[in-house]
Structure 1
Amino acid sequence: MDITKRFDRLLGIYFYLQSKPLVKAQDLADKYEVSLRTIYRDIKSLEQAGIPISGEAGYGYSLMNTYKIQPMNFTEQEALSFGVAEKLMQHYLDKEMGTHFSNALVKMKSVLRFSDKENVADLESKVLINKQKNFLNENVPAALAMLFESMVKKKQIHLTYKSVESNLQERNIEVVGVYQEGQFWYFLAYCHLRKEVRQFRLDRIEHIRLTDLRYTQSLKPLHEYLEEQKKAEVIISVRILVKKSIARYLHWERQYYGFVREVEKGDSVEMHFQTSNLEHFARWFLMFSDESIILEPEELKLKVKSVLEGALKNLK
């Protein structure tokens, strides 16, 4: 047995327990890539070392809330991650959440060794991430922060929301969870107007405020709703043949259209996709259709033909 590796894992488990109110053994097993039996032995070892752990197998573990020790110094690699993390969060979070994160990071940087502070400052000047237009809602800079606050306080949010048809609608919602996919932030919420859980996009919020109304629904975890949505989708297999000279340009976007795999066929590449929206796929395909062939399905050919006929009509 690698004693050093086990010691590092025991120490990691301790700090993981200190960072969360409740930790499941399976989560620890997944994190450290070991068996559940190994985690049970590790927990027992920590208890024998005098660390007050409550809970049991099958439920979860937690530390007594009054038990704390001073944090260890950050390693050089951990310290350097702060510089990159701040740049990323400035890109992925809206203005208010970004400010909160930056303030928290300043406090964490304050405990770094002087040499690590110099390295982090030097790295920050060498990392640039360009914020994409419409990725966040710049007109409502506190939107993301308010969604998080709503979930923590279990209080409803009042939205003025722009639909796909650009109609403004007011509605009260109970937020299930927030997730980022492709070019946008999305959130699922129970909508009191529609009486069901609906998907919303952050950049379509026109106005948002936290109300004093409590949640009324028993909401499931976010991942369960997303899994249900995925199961309900009608998935269509697509195969296209793309010239190698143009295929390399598809790498940047193809994952957003359900890319599965590719196979070289002479001077071309056969690409396989799984999509639930042929209309969406057809319009993307048109960008390189002069160098590509649709192998299947026939319905996709009809979609592309329909879009082209509409375009030609408009040109006339």
Structure 2
Amino acid sequence: MSSNTDMKRLTRLSAILLQLQTKRIINSTDLAEKFAVSVRTIYRDIRVLEQIGIPITSMEGRGYSLTEGYKIPPVMFTQQEANALITAGELIRLNKDSSLTSAYKEAVDKVKAVLNYSAKDKLELLSKRVAVSPASLKEPTSSSLSLVQNALTSFTVLRITYQAEGKNESTERFIEPFAFYYSLQQHWTLIAFCRWRNDFRMFRLDRIKTVYLTDLKFLPHQLSLQDYLKEKEKNFISPDKPLS
């Protein structure tokens, strides 16, 4: 086997391992298409990973996953990847939700922690040489994005008080978070099933006055975000004009 073939396989094994770290389940057919190899080759790759001590669970008819509780040491970031995160961080600062900007800063700090000294110095230099126009930076108008994200992924009902556009009074709603939409007006909007309206509605985060996690759970919605947006477009309803 040529050294070039060996390198390709090593790269593929590393990529499969990364997929196992970042996804709950991966299947051989998708991996074969992704790397343009046969399914049989993927089977052999999985066996190699098992032989070097990676505890992979095979789920018949579904795919592969890392054994529950197994943790792989943090992946080292390349200089280019770290640079991209620093640059993206300046754009994140434009966001109007303070919880997102705070969480991103903490994530970048963790990335810096695994870099070597030389890379840290370069990153520090880059962070001083990237800027966003002050005119673009506005005070945060919401701080609930992170909490709502957690509710969405754990299928937890939220209790909110919401002030719709043009309304003087707020209403209390029990909602099931479904998806997020970032509008042309640079506002985060939450698409959620409103139990009061018994239908999907859109809520601008800056108009949510209070938000609380409840002990209630809901079943995942079968509707996809793409289908929802297509329906909005078909009915000539702009996602940038939340209906609540």
**In the alignment, which residue of structure 2 is the partner of 1:23?**
26
* Cα distance in 2, alignment partners of residues 2 and 234 from structure 1: 50
TM-score by length of 2: 0.77
**Which of 205, 218, 221 is matched with 1:202 structurally?**
205
CA contact (8 A) 1:80 1:116 kept: no
CA contact (8 A) 2:57 2:66 kept: yes
* Cα distance in 1, alignment partners of residues 206 and 231 from structure 2: 26
Following superposition, the deviation at residue 150 of structure 1 comes to 1.8
**Which of 55, 59, 62 is matched with 2:62 structurally?**
59
Q: Percent identity?
A: 32
Q: Aligned with 1:193: secondary structure?
A: coil
Following superposition, the deviation at residue 92 of structure 1 comes to 3.5
**In the alignment, which residue of structure 2 is the partner of 1:154?**
155
CA contact (8 A) 2:160 2:212 kept: no
**Which of 103, 120, 125 is matched with 1:122 structurally?**
125
* Residues 1:44 and 2:43 are matched in the alignment: no
In structure 2, relative to structure 1, the CA distance for the partners of 1:181 and 1:46 (3 Å cut) is farther
CA contact (8 A) 1:25 1:58 kept: no
CA contact (8 A) 2:162 2:171 kept: yes
**In the alignment, which residue of structure 1 is the partner of 2:182?**
180
CA contact (8 A) 1:186 1:201 kept: yes
In structure 2, relative to structure 1, the CA distance for the partners of 1:232 and 1:202 (3 Å cut) is closer
Q: Report the AA paired with residue 177 of structure 2.
A: V
Following superposition, the deviation at residue 230 of structure 1 comes to 0.4
CA contact (8 A) 2:194 2:200 kept: yes
TM-score by length of 1: 0.62
Write out the 4+ residue segments of structure 1 that deviate beyond 4 Å after TM superposition: 24-30, 130-134
Following superposition, the deviation at residue 71 of structure 1 comes to 3.3
> Which structure would you say has the larger Rg?
1
* Cα distance in 2, alignment partners of residues 40 and 190 from structure 1: 42
CA contact (8 A) 1:83 1:121 kept: no
**In the alignment, which residue of structure 2 is the partner of 1:91?**
94
Q: Structure 1: which 5+ residue stretches go unaligned?
A: 236-275, 281-316
In structure 2, relative to structure 1, the CA distance for the partners of 1:36 and 1:129 (3 Å cut) is farther
**In the alignment, which residue of structure 2 is the partner of 1:292?**
none
Q: Structure 2: which 5+ residue stretches go unaligned?
A: none
In structure 2, relative to structure 1, the CA distance for the partners of 1:277 and 1:97 (3 Å cut) is closer
Q: Aligned with 1:123: secondary structure?
A: helix
* Residues 1:81 and 2:84 are matched in the alignment: yes
* Cα distance in 1, alignment partners of residues 55 and 75 from structure 2: 19
- Size of the aligned set, in residue pairs, is 232
* Cα distance in 1, alignment partners of residues 75 and 157 from structure 2: 40
CA contact (8 A) 2:159 2:214 kept: no
* Cα distance in 2, alignment partners of residues 15 and 78 from structure 1: 15
